């Protein structure tokens, strides 16, 4: 390993998970097109991409001036391209740039410089650029752009505030917009204490959603049912750590309470453990008003009964839940799930994949290795290696098509680990997730010959002609064991390699069948994943 000083460039797409949820195939196609633009500008500016995952890009530049110039060129080029799409489908990058001391290892860069660039990217406006003071000092008199001083910004996992500047982006008429400066961090008498980190877990968004898919940690702790001031009875349970991938933006505020016609049923409450469900059934459901139950996506929860009023019940339930979530540094806010016997949760049930959630296959299962988890950035892989790998059973890793990640562990059963991983991951991603690992093994084929770009759904894949999709879906469904691959030719004729003993055999089989019907064949799917060139 060697150290060096470099300008670090971090970029990802704002709202990528939402775009994927709305139209996965179109989003992935456009991502490939936009990535070609960014890659070309990075190469033109003398930069080198050293890491990508989902929608995120990390690059190094020998010059801060070239890094900022490249970022401006990218944003202006993509702004023009976005004009062809309605606002809800526009794909805009946020970019962060800093200068820092980094460690190079096998072509990858690690260190505070990379982490700070990712945090600056999280501070940037949609379609904007945020730079550190060190970069500003290098470029202020060398580029004809304006800057807005954001002051010192407190960002997650960086012990000291980062002084940041926004780059003013050009409007349609050629003038420059003044960035909206975010509130500077308050002065601190000293660094935040680090005593909680040995027992904490963090959540990441790979995708890519958020600051490049970094994981936050949820504290490992189990709280026994507790009492608050009489006559209140509070029961709460903090789940086993369950990191989940989200954007590194502030948690969204709770939505207004929506009273549904659904009656409270403990057995279908999402995110929480089976023990908490049992406690809700025995202690909350039969209790008289006034009562309320609050939870967050990470599984933190609290309920109160025998309150003097409905408002008191709602406030106490949220407050008790949030205290536990804050103590474990959970990035998700607690929200009311039930008031009295009525469900008021505004988000509905999390999207879940169809059953069965797990299909064991000795041909494709292999030992879990964090480095091989697809759609996940290095920060997320490091958390998986340091937290998930040594954790005790039962545990599971759920992955979303945009890089959302959630992994509960130390649960009472395999079924509970799988359910909670899928519920929380689906709640974060907004689309059904997939269990990729259970305990110490991968339970889906993990491609290594090509790079994973998302989930593969043949029925809605526009690369496959409409008249061939049902046949491809049927043939894949019938091939329930072994390695499967799908190739497509220039005319859209598919070729499939099914029930192969190895990944390479499936790829070769798919290409061989494709070239019998078409030309210029390329593999687009391996197992349950869309794939592309490494």
The residue with greater pLDDT, 70 or 430, is 70
The answer, yes or no, to whether residue 240 has pLDDT greater than 50, is no
The answer, yes or no, to whether residue 89 has pLDDT greater than 60, is yes
How far apart are alpha carbons 473 and 447 in whole angstroms?
Answer: 19
How far apart are alpha carbons 518 and 319 in whole angstroms?
Answer: 62
How far apart are alpha carbons 378 and 51 in whole angstroms?
Answer: 8
| Contact in structure between 31 and 113 (CB atoms under 8 Å) | no
Predicted pLDDT at 303: 96
Least confident of 81-85, 338-342, 444-448, 467-471: 81-85
What is the average pLDDT across 19-32? Answer: 84
Structure tokens at 92: 């805009």
CA–chain centroid gap for 100, Å, is 25
Predicted pLDDT at 33: 83
Q: What three-state secondary structure class fits 110?
A: strand
Least confident of 195-204, 300-309, 331-340: 195-204
| Contact in structure between 401 and 20 (CB atoms under 8 Å) | yes
Band the pLDDT of 313: cuts 50, 70, 90.
very high
From 120, 38, 118, select the one nearest 76 (Cα to Cα).
38
What is the average pLDDT across 57-77? Answer: 92
Predicted pLDDT at 329: 78
Q: pLDDT tens, 466-518?
A: 899 999 999 999 998 999 999 999 888 999 999 999 999 999 999 999 999 99
Predicted pLDDT at 255: 40
The residue with greater pLDDT, 314 or 216, is 314
How far apart are alpha carbons 67 and 128 in whole angstroms?
Answer: 14
How far apart are alpha carbons 457 and 196 in whole angstroms?
Answer: 42
What is the average pLDDT across 107-130? Answer: 90
The residue with greater pLDDT, 144 or 447, is 447
Q: Is the pTM of this model over 0.75?
A: no
**Helices then strands, each counted (H, E), the chain:** 11, 26
The residue with greater pLDDT, 186 or 414, is 414
Least confident of 34-48, 156-170, 349-363, 387-401: 156-170
Band the pLDDT of 370: cuts 50, 70, 90.
very high
What is the average pLDDT across 368-397? Answer: 92
Percent of the chain surpassing pLDDT 90: 51
The answer, yes or no, to whether residue 331 has pLDDT greater than 80, is no
What's the first-to-final CA gap in the chain, in angstroms? 24
Give whichever of 102-116, 207-221, 451-465, 495-509 has the largest mean pLDDT: 495-509
The answer, yes or no, to whether residue 8 has pLDDT greater than 90, is yes
Q: Is 2-167 a CATH 3.30.70.1230 domain?
A: yes
Predicted pLDDT at 179: 54
Q: pLDDT tens, 174-216?
A: 445 555 555 555 444 443 333 333 333 333 333 333 333 323 3
Where do the structural domains in the chain lie, given as residue ranges? 2-167, 220-233+249-343, 451-532
Predicted pLDDT at 346: 84
Q: What is the mean pLDDT of the chain?
A: 82
How far apart are alpha carbons 487 and 507 in whole angstroms?
Answer: 8
Q: Compute the chain's Rg from CA coordinates.
A: 24
Percent of the chain surpassing pLDDT 70: 82
- Return the biggest CA–CA distance within the chain: 77
Predicted pLDDT at 205: 35
């Amino acid at each position: 390993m060697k150290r060096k000083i470099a300008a670090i460039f971090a970029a990802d797409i704002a709202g990528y998970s939402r775009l994927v949820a709305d139209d996965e195939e179109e989003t992935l196609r456009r991502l490939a097109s936009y990535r070609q633009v960014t890659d070309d500008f990075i190469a033109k500016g003398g930069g080198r991409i050293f890491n990508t995952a989902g929608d995120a890009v990390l690059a190094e530049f020998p010059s801060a001036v070239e890094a900022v110039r490249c970022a401006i060129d990218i944003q202006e080029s993509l702004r023009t391209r976005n004009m062809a799409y309605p606002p809800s489908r526009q794909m805009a990058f946020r970019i962060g740039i800093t200068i820092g001391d980094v460690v190079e290892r096998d072509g990858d860069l690690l260190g505070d410089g990379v982490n700070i660039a990712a945090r600056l990217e999280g501070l940037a406006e949609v379609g904007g650029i945020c730079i550190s003071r060190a970069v500003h000092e290098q470029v202020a008199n060398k580029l004809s752009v304006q800057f807005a001083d954001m002051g010192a910004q407190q960002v997650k996992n960086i012990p000291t505030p980062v002084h940041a500047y926004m780059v003013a982006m050009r409007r349609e008429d050629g003038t420059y917009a003044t960035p909206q400066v975010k509130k500077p961090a308050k002065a601190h008498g000293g660094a935040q204490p680090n005593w909680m980190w040995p027992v904490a877990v963090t959540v990441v968004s790979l995708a890519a959603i958020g600051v490049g898919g970094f994981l936050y940690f949820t504290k490992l702790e189990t709280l026994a049912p507790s009492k608050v001031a009489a006559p209140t009875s509070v029961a709460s349970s903090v789940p086993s750590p369950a990191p989940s991938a989200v954007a590194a933006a502030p948690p969204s505020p709770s939505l207004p309470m929506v009273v549904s016609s659904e009656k409270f049923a403990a057995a279908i409450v999402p995110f929480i453990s089976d023990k908490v469900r049992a406690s809700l059934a025995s202690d909350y459901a039969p209790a008289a008003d006034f009562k309320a139950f609050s939870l967050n996506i990470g599984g933190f929860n609290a309920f109160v009964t025998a309150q003097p009023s409905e408002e008191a019940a709602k406030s106490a339930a949220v407050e008790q839940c949030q205290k536990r979530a804050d103590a474990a540094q959970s990035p998700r806010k607690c929200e009311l799930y039930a008031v009295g016997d009525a469900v008021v949760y505004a988000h509905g049930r999390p999207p879940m994949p169809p059953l069965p959630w797990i299909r064991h296959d000795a041909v494709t299962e292999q030992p879990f290795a964090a480095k091989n988890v697809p759609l996940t950035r290095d920060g997320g892989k490091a958390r998986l290696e340091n937290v998930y790998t040594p954790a005790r059973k039962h545990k599971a890793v759920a992955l979303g098509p945009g890089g959302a990640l959630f992994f509960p562990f130390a649960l009472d059963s395999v079924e509970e680990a799988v359910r909670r991983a899928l519920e929380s991951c689906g709640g974060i991603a907004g689309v059904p997730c997939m269990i990729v690992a259970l305990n110490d093994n991968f339970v889906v084929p993990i491609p290594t010959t090509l790079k994973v770009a998302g989930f593969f759904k043949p029925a809605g894949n526009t690369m496959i002609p409409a008249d061939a999709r049902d046949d491809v879906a049927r043939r894949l469904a019938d091939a329930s064991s072994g390695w499967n691959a799908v190739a497509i030719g220039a005319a859209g004729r598919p070729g499939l390699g099914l029930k192969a003993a190895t990944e390479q055999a499936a790829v070769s089989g798919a290409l061989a069948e494709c070239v019998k019907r078409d030309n210029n064949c390329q593999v687009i799917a391996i197992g349950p994943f869309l794939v592309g060139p490494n």
